Amino acid sequence: MSDLSKIPVTVITGFLGAGKTTLLNRILTERHGERIAVIENEFGEEGVDNDLVLNSDAEQIVEMNNGCICCNVRGDLLVILGELRQRRENNPDSFDRIIIETTGLADPAPVAQTFFLDEDMSEYYTLDAIVTVVDAKHAEAQLDQFHEAQEQVGFADRILLSKSDLVSHSEQESIRKRLVQMNPRAPISAVNFGDTPISALIDIGGFSLQSILEIEPGFLEEEDHEHDESVHSFVFTSQRAFDEARLQKFFRQAIAEHSANMMRYKGIVAFKSLDHRVVFQGVHMMMGSELGQPWLADEARESKLVFIGRDLPKEQFLAQLEQCLV
Protein backbone atom coordinates (compact mmCIF):
# COMPACT_ATOMS: atom_id res chain seq x y z
CA MET A 1 0.00 0.00 0.00
CA SER A 2 1.15 3.55 -0.66
CA ASP A 3 1.33 6.01 2.21
CA LEU A 4 -1.77 7.78 0.85
CA SER A 5 -3.84 4.57 0.94
CA LYS A 6 -2.73 3.48 4.42
CA ILE A 7 -5.10 3.82 7.36
CA PRO A 8 -4.02 6.81 9.50
CA VAL A 9 -3.70 6.29 13.24
CA THR A 10 -3.83 9.06 15.84
CA VAL A 11 -2.59 8.34 19.36
CA ILE A 12 -4.14 10.46 22.12
CA THR A 13 -2.02 10.37 25.25
CA GLY A 14 -1.55 12.39 28.41
CA PHE A 15 -1.24 11.75 32.12
CA LEU A 16 -4.04 10.59 34.40
CA GLY A 17 -6.97 13.00 34.39
CA ALA A 18 -5.58 15.35 31.74
CA GLY A 19 -8.75 15.22 29.64
CA LYS A 20 -8.10 12.55 26.99
CA THR A 21 -11.60 11.06 27.05
CA THR A 22 -13.15 14.53 26.97
CA LEU A 23 -11.12 15.29 23.84
CA LEU A 24 -12.10 11.95 22.30
CA ASN A 25 -15.78 12.67 22.94
CA ARG A 26 -15.36 16.04 21.26
CA ILE A 27 -13.91 14.35 18.18
CA LEU A 28 -16.58 11.65 18.04
CA THR A 29 -19.52 14.05 18.38
CA GLU A 30 -18.33 16.64 15.87
CA ARG A 31 -20.01 16.44 12.46
CA HIS A 32 -16.90 15.80 10.40
CA GLY A 33 -18.06 12.84 8.32
CA GLU A 34 -15.18 10.64 9.42
CA ARG A 35 -15.72 6.96 10.22
CA ILE A 36 -13.53 6.27 13.24
CA ALA A 37 -12.56 3.08 15.03
CA VAL A 38 -11.44 3.71 18.61
CA ILE A 39 -9.08 1.59 20.71
CA GLU A 40 -9.44 2.33 24.43
CA ASN A 41 -6.75 1.28 26.90
CA GLU A 42 -7.10 1.42 30.69
CA PHE A 43 -4.55 0.72 33.39
CA GLY A 44 -6.70 -1.47 35.65
CA GLU A 45 -8.13 -4.94 35.27
CA GLU A 46 -11.52 -3.36 34.67
CA GLY A 47 -12.23 0.13 33.40
CA VAL A 48 -14.99 2.64 32.84
CA ASP A 49 -13.68 4.73 29.96
CA ASN A 50 -15.84 2.86 27.44
CA ASP A 51 -18.87 3.95 29.49
CA LEU A 52 -17.62 7.55 29.42
CA VAL A 53 -17.18 7.65 25.64
CA LEU A 54 -20.21 9.02 23.80
CA ASN A 55 -20.48 6.17 21.35
CA SER A 56 -22.58 6.38 18.20
CA ASP A 57 -23.50 4.01 15.40
CA ALA A 58 -20.71 5.48 13.27
CA GLU A 59 -17.92 4.57 15.66
CA GLN A 60 -16.54 1.25 16.81
CA ILE A 61 -15.05 1.03 20.30
CA VAL A 62 -12.56 -1.68 21.23
CA GLU A 63 -11.48 -1.95 24.88
CA MET A 64 -8.05 -3.04 26.13
CA ASN A 65 -7.96 -3.60 29.87
CA ASN A 66 -5.70 -5.71 32.08
CA GLY A 67 -2.67 -3.52 31.79
CA CYS A 68 -0.92 -0.74 29.96
CA ILE A 69 -0.84 -0.60 26.17
CA CYS A 70 2.89 0.14 26.19
CA CYS A 71 3.97 -3.05 27.93
CA ASN A 72 2.15 -6.26 28.88
CA VAL A 73 -0.85 -5.80 26.58
CA ARG A 74 1.10 -4.55 23.60
CA GLY A 75 0.61 -7.93 21.96
CA ASP A 76 -3.13 -7.40 22.33
CA LEU A 77 -2.76 -4.15 20.37
CA LEU A 78 -1.26 -6.07 17.45
CA VAL A 79 -4.14 -8.55 17.60
CA ILE A 80 -6.76 -5.78 17.66
CA LEU A 81 -5.11 -3.92 14.79
CA GLY A 82 -5.05 -7.17 12.83
CA GLU A 83 -8.75 -7.78 13.54
CA LEU A 84 -9.65 -4.23 12.52
CA ARG A 85 -7.70 -4.68 9.29
CA GLN A 86 -9.65 -7.87 8.54
CA ARG A 87 -12.92 -6.13 9.34
CA ARG A 88 -12.14 -3.28 6.98
CA GLU A 89 -11.00 -5.58 4.18
CA ASN A 90 -14.36 -7.36 4.49
CA ASN A 91 -16.21 -4.02 4.63
CA PRO A 92 -14.19 -1.06 3.28
CA ASP A 93 -16.83 1.39 4.57
CA SER A 94 -16.48 0.27 8.22
CA PHE A 95 -13.96 2.98 9.17
CA ASP A 96 -11.52 5.47 7.65
CA ARG A 97 -9.08 5.93 10.52
CA ILE A 98 -8.18 4.74 14.01
CA ILE A 99 -7.79 6.69 17.23
CA ILE A 100 -5.95 5.05 20.13
CA GLU A 101 -6.54 6.53 23.59
CA THR A 102 -3.82 5.29 25.92
CA THR A 103 -3.95 4.92 29.64
CA GLY A 104 -2.59 7.91 31.54
CA LEU A 105 0.41 5.80 32.62
CA ALA A 106 1.46 4.85 29.10
CA ASP A 107 4.82 5.62 27.58
CA PRO A 108 3.89 6.44 23.95
CA ALA A 109 7.21 5.21 22.54
CA PRO A 110 6.37 1.47 22.50
CA VAL A 111 2.95 2.27 21.03
CA ALA A 112 4.60 4.23 18.22
CA GLN A 113 7.14 1.45 17.72
CA THR A 114 4.30 -0.92 16.85
CA PHE A 115 3.81 0.84 13.51
CA PHE A 116 7.47 0.52 12.53
CA LEU A 117 8.71 -2.75 14.02
CA ASP A 118 5.89 -4.99 12.81
CA GLU A 119 5.98 -5.39 9.02
CA ASP A 120 2.26 -6.18 8.64
CA MET A 121 1.30 -3.13 10.66
CA SER A 122 3.67 -0.78 8.82
CA GLU A 123 2.30 -1.95 5.45
CA TYR A 124 -1.32 -1.24 6.33
CA TYR A 125 -1.26 1.59 8.90
CA THR A 126 0.53 4.91 9.16
CA LEU A 127 1.09 6.76 12.43
CA ASP A 128 -0.28 10.22 11.68
CA ALA A 129 0.37 11.95 15.01
CA ILE A 130 0.76 11.65 18.76
CA VAL A 131 -1.49 14.21 20.47
CA THR A 132 -0.66 14.82 24.14
CA VAL A 133 -3.08 16.46 26.57
CA VAL A 134 -1.32 18.21 29.45
CA ASP A 135 -3.13 19.18 32.66
CA ALA A 136 -2.01 22.75 33.44
CA LYS A 137 -3.11 22.38 37.07
CA HIS A 138 -1.05 19.28 37.89
CA ALA A 139 1.59 19.09 35.14
CA GLU A 140 4.51 20.48 37.13
CA ALA A 141 4.25 17.78 39.81
CA GLN A 142 3.51 15.03 37.28
CA LEU A 143 6.52 15.94 35.14
CA ASP A 144 8.72 16.01 38.25
CA GLN A 145 7.60 12.59 39.46
CA PHE A 146 6.76 10.42 36.46
CA HIS A 147 8.92 9.34 33.54
CA GLU A 148 5.75 8.51 31.58
CA ALA A 149 4.55 12.12 31.78
CA GLN A 150 7.91 13.28 30.44
CA GLU A 151 7.80 10.79 27.57
CA GLN A 152 4.25 11.82 26.67
CA VAL A 153 5.44 15.40 26.21
CA GLY A 154 8.69 14.44 24.50
CA PHE A 155 6.98 12.31 21.83
CA ALA A 156 4.09 14.72 21.19
CA ASP A 157 3.42 16.11 17.72
CA ARG A 158 0.70 18.36 19.18
CA ILE A 159 0.33 19.47 22.82
CA LEU A 160 -3.06 20.52 24.13
CA LEU A 161 -2.98 22.40 27.44
CA SER A 162 -6.14 21.64 29.43
CA LYS A 163 -7.48 23.25 32.62
CA SER A 164 -5.52 26.43 31.98
CA ASP A 165 -8.46 28.38 33.41
CA LEU A 166 -7.61 26.85 36.81
CA VAL A 167 -4.14 28.40 36.99
CA SER A 168 -2.84 31.96 36.94
CA HIS A 169 -1.37 33.55 33.82
CA SER A 170 2.14 33.30 35.26
CA GLU A 171 1.66 29.61 36.11
CA GLN A 172 0.38 28.96 32.59
CA GLU A 173 3.39 30.70 31.06
CA SER A 174 5.71 28.73 33.32
CA ILE A 175 4.33 25.38 32.21
CA ARG A 176 4.33 26.49 28.56
CA LYS A 177 8.00 27.42 28.85
CA ARG A 178 8.81 24.04 30.39
CA LEU A 179 6.91 22.19 27.65
CA VAL A 180 8.74 24.11 24.92
CA GLN A 181 12.08 23.26 26.52
CA MET A 182 11.11 19.58 26.60
CA ASN A 183 9.69 19.51 23.07
CA PRO A 184 10.34 22.56 20.89
CA ARG A 185 8.87 20.95 17.75
CA ALA A 186 5.30 20.43 19.03
CA PRO A 187 2.81 23.33 18.71
CA ILE A 188 1.03 24.09 22.01
CA SER A 189 -2.56 25.28 22.18
CA ALA A 190 -5.10 25.64 24.96
CA VAL A 191 -8.09 23.32 24.98
CA ASN A 192 -11.26 23.89 26.98
CA PHE A 193 -13.29 20.74 27.66
CA GLY A 194 -11.88 19.13 24.52
CA ASP A 195 -12.98 21.99 22.27
CA THR A 196 -10.36 22.19 19.53
CA PRO A 197 -10.60 22.07 15.71
CA ILE A 198 -10.46 18.50 14.50
CA SER A 199 -8.36 19.70 11.56
CA ALA A 200 -5.58 20.36 14.08
CA LEU A 201 -5.63 16.74 15.25
CA ILE A 202 -6.06 14.43 12.24
CA ASP A 203 -4.38 14.16 8.83
CA ILE A 204 -1.59 16.45 9.99
CA GLY A 205 1.34 14.17 9.14
CA GLY A 206 2.84 15.16 12.44
CA PHE A 207 4.85 12.06 13.32
CA SER A 208 8.40 12.16 11.98
CA LEU A 209 10.48 9.04 12.51
CA GLN A 210 13.63 10.95 11.66
CA SER A 211 12.94 13.60 14.32
CA ILE A 212 12.31 10.90 16.92
CA LEU A 213 15.54 9.09 16.02
CA GLU A 214 17.45 12.34 16.51
CA ILE A 215 15.97 12.65 20.01
CA GLU A 216 16.09 8.94 20.89
CA PRO A 217 18.48 6.98 18.64
CA GLY A 218 17.41 3.67 20.21
CA PHE A 219 13.73 4.22 19.39
CA LEU A 220 13.54 1.23 17.02
CA GLU A 221 15.13 -1.12 19.55
CA GLU A 222 12.55 -3.08 21.54
CA GLU A 223 12.93 -2.95 25.29
CA ASP A 224 10.83 -3.73 28.33
CA HIS A 225 8.93 -0.87 29.92
CA GLU A 226 8.38 -0.75 33.67
CA HIS A 227 5.95 1.31 35.69
CA ASP A 228 6.20 2.79 39.16
CA GLU A 229 5.25 -0.26 41.22
CA SER A 230 3.70 1.89 43.96
CA VAL A 231 0.90 2.91 41.58
CA HIS A 232 -2.05 0.53 41.66
CA SER A 233 -5.67 0.51 40.60
CA PHE A 234 -8.80 -1.14 41.93
CA VAL A 235 -12.49 -1.07 41.09
CA PHE A 236 -15.73 -1.11 43.10
CA THR A 237 -18.89 -2.44 41.43
CA SER A 238 -22.40 -2.96 42.70
CA GLN A 239 -25.91 -3.35 41.31
CA ARG A 240 -27.33 -1.80 44.46
CA ALA A 241 -27.98 1.93 44.23
CA PHE A 242 -25.91 4.46 46.17
CA ASP A 243 -27.24 6.82 48.81
CA GLU A 244 -26.21 10.23 47.47
CA ALA A 245 -25.48 11.88 50.84
CA ARG A 246 -23.37 8.94 52.06
CA LEU A 247 -21.36 8.78 48.84
CA GLN A 248 -20.64 12.51 48.93
CA LYS A 249 -19.48 12.14 52.54
CA PHE A 250 -17.19 9.27 51.50
CA PHE A 251 -15.54 11.36 48.80
CA ARG A 252 -15.13 14.37 51.08
CA GLN A 253 -13.37 12.23 53.69
CA ALA A 254 -11.27 10.31 51.16
CA ILE A 255 -10.11 13.52 49.48
CA ALA A 256 -9.34 15.16 52.82
CA GLU A 257 -7.16 12.23 53.91
CA HIS A 258 -5.72 10.80 50.69
CA SER A 259 -5.98 13.41 47.91
CA ALA A 260 -2.19 13.55 47.39
CA ASN A 261 -2.21 9.85 46.49
CA MET A 262 -5.54 9.80 44.61
CA MET A 263 -4.04 10.29 41.15
CA ARG A 264 -7.26 9.46 39.30
CA TYR A 265 -10.75 8.31 40.21
CA LYS A 266 -13.73 8.04 37.94
CA GLY A 267 -16.87 6.08 37.42
CA ILE A 268 -20.54 5.63 36.63
CA VAL A 269 -22.91 5.72 39.61
CA ALA A 270 -26.55 4.73 40.04
CA PHE A 271 -28.59 6.66 42.61
CA LYS A 272 -31.96 5.36 43.74
CA SER A 273 -33.61 8.74 43.18
CA LEU A 274 -32.33 9.25 39.61
CA ASP A 275 -33.19 7.65 36.27
CA HIS A 276 -29.88 8.81 34.79
CA ARG A 277 -26.33 7.67 35.33
CA VAL A 278 -24.12 10.08 37.24
CA VAL A 279 -20.56 10.41 35.94
CA PHE A 280 -17.90 11.05 38.61
CA GLN A 281 -14.37 12.17 37.71
CA GLY A 282 -11.56 13.39 39.90
CA VAL A 283 -7.83 14.14 40.08
CA HIS A 284 -6.32 14.64 43.54
CA MET A 285 -8.46 17.32 45.26
CA MET A 286 -10.46 18.21 42.15
CA MET A 287 -13.68 16.24 41.70
CA GLY A 288 -16.80 16.80 39.65
CA SER A 289 -19.94 15.01 38.56
CA GLU A 290 -22.55 15.35 35.85
CA LEU A 291 -25.65 13.58 34.59
CA GLY A 292 -24.96 10.87 32.04
CA GLN A 293 -27.20 8.81 29.80
CA PRO A 294 -30.56 7.58 31.16
CA TRP A 295 -30.77 3.99 32.34
CA LEU A 296 -32.72 1.78 29.96
CA ALA A 297 -35.80 0.01 31.30
CA ASP A 298 -34.29 -3.47 30.93
CA GLU A 299 -30.75 -2.47 31.89
CA ALA A 300 -28.93 -3.51 35.07
CA ARG A 301 -28.10 -0.34 36.98
CA GLU A 302 -24.52 -1.20 37.85
CA SER A 303 -22.28 1.35 39.52
CA LYS A 304 -18.57 1.15 38.78
CA LEU A 305 -15.87 3.30 40.40
CA VAL A 306 -12.18 3.02 39.49
CA PHE A 307 -9.35 4.36 41.66
CA ILE A 308 -5.73 4.79 40.54
CA GLY A 309 -3.10 5.99 42.97
CA ARG A 310 -0.20 5.39 45.29
CA ASP A 311 -0.63 3.38 48.48
CA LEU A 312 -4.39 3.88 48.66
CA PRO A 313 -6.22 1.93 51.41
CA LYS A 314 -8.05 -0.39 49.02
CA GLU A 315 -9.86 -2.56 51.57
CA GLN A 316 -10.89 0.49 53.61
CA PHE A 317 -12.27 2.27 50.53
CA LEU A 318 -14.18 -0.81 49.37
CA ALA A 319 -15.72 -1.36 52.82
CA GLN A 320 -16.70 2.32 53.12
CA LEU A 321 -18.27 2.31 49.65
CA GLU A 322 -20.28 -0.75 50.61
CA GLN A 323 -21.68 1.27 53.51
CA CYS A 324 -22.78 3.99 51.06
CA LEU A 325 -25.21 1.69 49.26
CA VAL A 326 -28.94 1.88 49.86
Is residue 206's pLDDT more than 50? Answer: yes
- pLDDT above 90 covers a percentage of the chain that reads 41
* Domains of the chain (ranges, CATH numbers): 7-215 (3.40.50.300), 231-323 (3.30.1220.10)
Write the DSSP symbol of residue 261.
Answer: G
Q: Which residues, 6 or more positions from 191, have their beta carbon under 8 angstroms from its beta carbon? A: 19, 23, 133, 160, 161, 162
How sure is the predictor about 317, in pLDDT bands with cuts at 50, 70 and 90? very high
Kindly state the DSSP code that residue 259 receives in the 8-state scheme. Answer: G
- Mean per-residue pLDDT of the chain: 84
Within 213-283, strands assigned E span: 231-238, 262-269, 276-283
Q: Check: pTM over 0.85? Answer yes or no.
A: no
Secondary structure of residue 114 in the 3-state scheme = helix
pLDDT of 152 > 70? The answer is yes
Question: Does residue 288 surpass a pLDDT of 90?
Answer: no
Residue 59: per-residue pLDDT: 46
With a cut of 90, say whether residue 103 has pLDDT above it.
no
Percent of the chain with pLDDT over 70: 84
Q: Each residue of 50-87: pLDDT tens digit? A: 555 555 443 466 665 545 454 555 677 888 899 999 99
pLDDT band at 238 (very low <50, low <70, confident <90, very high): very high
Model confidence at 165: pLDDT above 60:
yes
What does the pLDDT look like over 255-274, one tens digit per residue? Answer: 999 998 999 898 899 998 89
Secondary structure of 146-209 in HEC code, one letter for each residue: CHHHHHHHHCCCEEEEECHHHCCHHHHHHHHHHHHHHCCCCCEEEEECCECCHHHCCCCCCCCH
Residue 109's closest CA among 2, 231, 215?
Answer: 215
Kindly state the DSSP code that residue 243 receives in the 8-state scheme: P
Between CA 141 and CA 151, with CA 145 as vertex, the angle to 5 degrees is 100
Flag the least confident range among 168-172, 230-234, 267-271: 230-234
Q: What is the DSSP string of 72-99?
A: TTHHHHHHHHHHHHHHHHH-TTS-SEEE
